[in-house]
Amino acid sequence: MTFEIKLLGAEKPIAWTDETTKDAILSYSYEVLASGAVVVHRTKTTADEDGYGVDRNDVIAIYGPASWDQVSGDGEICRH
């Protein structure tokens, strides 16, 4: 998934794009909370010693409601 977050006062948006490295697949997603904060999540998929996929999910960025102007791309808006 690819998405962009335009921060207030920034010339260019921050782009988050899925990628594949030598050791892992990195997938990014975001959600807009009811408070207005944007939370960026990363899922890192690696292979264990038996070759099975293992996912690790992390929150890698949080933007407060007063710090961003626009989010574009696929994501989720929480209503609760």
Cα–Cα distance for residue pair 18/53, rounded to 1 Å: 17
- pLDDT digit string (tens) for 38-76? 999 999 999 999 989 999 999 999 999 999 999 988 777
Q: What's the pTM? A: 0.85
pLDDT at 78: 67
Cα–Cα distance for residue pair 39/58, rounded to 1 Å: 10
End-to-end Cα separation, the chain, in angstroms: 24
Cα–Cα distance for residue pair 69/23, rounded to 1 Å: 34
